[in-house]
Amino acid sequence: RGSRSVFIAHKALNILIPYFVFASIYIAVNSSVSEVNHRSDIDRILWLWKEPEAQYWFLYALFLLFIFWVFLSGSMKNWHILIFLSVLNYAAVLLDIHFGSLSSAMSMAFSFGLGTVTEKLFFSENSSIKKMLVIVLHVLVVGFFSYMNVQSLPILKEAGEALGIAASICFITLITKFSLFAKVLLLICKYSFPIYLLHTIFTAGIRIGLNYAGWRNYWIQVLVGTGVGILAPVLIAMLCSKTPFLDFLFYPSKYLEKFYNRSSRRFCLLRRKRVSR
């Protein structure tokens, strides 16, 4: 029980603090800028505890899924939990039962559960030809599902998600064989969390700015917005990592660990000086 409490506290620290901080910033910006696509009322901040905003729903759902797994793992194996939550989600849909704030987590249960039961991503070690075949198969299957409009049906939806995850991993392992792409992806990977938290603010800002400047071309806005949406969060994260307390907003436990280690070293040095005297 103690270890579960520590685990939940750790996840709450690292997920909920960034969730509330950056979702609040997002709402504050959206409520004050009229040109955004989806304007938010400032009082939405008060309801973040039960109604996630924009892309931050993922953090909200992720934390709930960790909670589900922690409590259910005491009596069930991971793959049992995966099946149980997936079936429960579809049963609720068929019976028109709404989970309210838990809905986003329930819809992600299968994808999250795959990560708990896949100890080794064996397909990442396959030959390049096999990886390309997986990618092609994914494109064909998803295209067929979309054409037949069956991508949301039970089992087919999960099959598409599993195949999509496999194809994504295969694609990344293929493209990282080229050093330039590998370096770019490693940089994005290193700062993926800050990019996730901040990218929409900058992409929206770029779109609004380009519209004011008369640059309304779709592809220009996509390219510039994507570039700034990646680079700006990376630069902010770099700055925050060198600024006391600001790094806490992105990586709470990591910052606290560094702070504790620095404090411990200082305490030891002071103690040694006193002893030497």
Q: What is the pLDDT of residue 125?
A: 63
| Residue 121 φ/ψ region, left for φ over 0, alpha for ψ in the -120 to 50 degree band, beta for the rest | beta
Cβ pair 99, 146 in contact under 8 A:
no
Least confident range of 44-58, 64-78, 115-129, 222-236: 115-129
Please state, in angstroms and rounded to a whole number, the distance separating the CA atoms of residues 88 and 82. 10
Please state, in angstroms and rounded to a whole number, the distance separating the CA atoms of residues 236 and 247. 10
At position 218, the amino acid (one-letter code) is Y
Same domain, 4 and 42: yes
Residue 122 has pLDDT above 70, yes or no: no
Q: What is the pLDDT of residue 2?
A: 55
Is there a domain that residue 193 lies in? no
Same domain, 109 and 25: yes
Is there a domain that residue 261 lies in? no
Tokens representing residue 240 in the block: 């925050």
pLDDT > 90 fraction of the chain, expressed in percent and rounded? 25
Q: Domain boundary at 109, 140, 175, which?
A: 175
Cβ pair 83, 91 in contact under 8 A:
no
Same domain, 63 and 94: yes
Same domain, 7 and 27: yes
Longest dimension (CA), the chain: 82
Same domain, 161 and 77: no
Give tens-digit pLDDT for 141-194: 999 999 999 888 878 888 888 888 888 888 888 888 888 888 888 888 899 999
Same domain, 6 and 111: yes
Is there a domain that residue 248 lies in? no
Strand, coil or helix: what is 149?
Answer: coil
Is there a domain that residue 97 lies in? yes
At position 23, the amino acid (one-letter code) is A
Give tens-digit pLDDT for 216-225: 888 888 999 9
Is there a domain that residue 234 lies in? no
Please state, in angstroms and rounded to a whole number, the distance separating the CA atoms of residues 239 and 54. 25
Q: Please state the domain count of the chain.
A: 2
Same domain, 29 and 134: no
Same domain, 14 and 107: yes
Is there a domain that residue 31 lies in? yes
Q: What is the pLDDT of residue 176?
A: 84
Whole-prediction pTM: 0.81
Which residues 6+ apart lie within 8 Å of 64 measured at CB?
101, 102, 104, 105
**How many alpha carbons lie under 13 Å from residue 227 in its C-beta half-sphere?**
6
- Reference 171, options 144, 122, 138; nearest CA is 138
Same domain, 2 and 100: yes
Same domain, 57 and 109: yes
Give tens-digit pLDDT for 238-270: 998 888 788 888 989 888 887 777 666 665 666
Average pLDDT, the chain: 84
| Residue 106 φ/ψ region, left for φ over 0, alpha for ψ in the -120 to 50 degree band, beta for the rest | alpha
Residue 209 has pLDDT above 60, yes or no: yes
Please state, in angstroms and rounded to a whole number, the distance separating the CA atoms of residues 226 and 211. 16
Please state, in angstroms and rounded to a whole number, the distance separating the CA atoms of residues 88 and 86. 5
Is there a domain that residue 246 lies in? no
Q: Domain boundary at 101, 119, 137, which?
A: 119
Same domain, 38 and 141: no
- Reference 59, options 97, 110, 100, 112; nearest CA is 112
Domain, as residue range, for 161: 123-175
Residue 210 has pLDDT above 80, yes or no: yes
Mean pLDDT computed over 122-128: 66
Least confident range of 77-81, 107-111, 256-260: 256-260
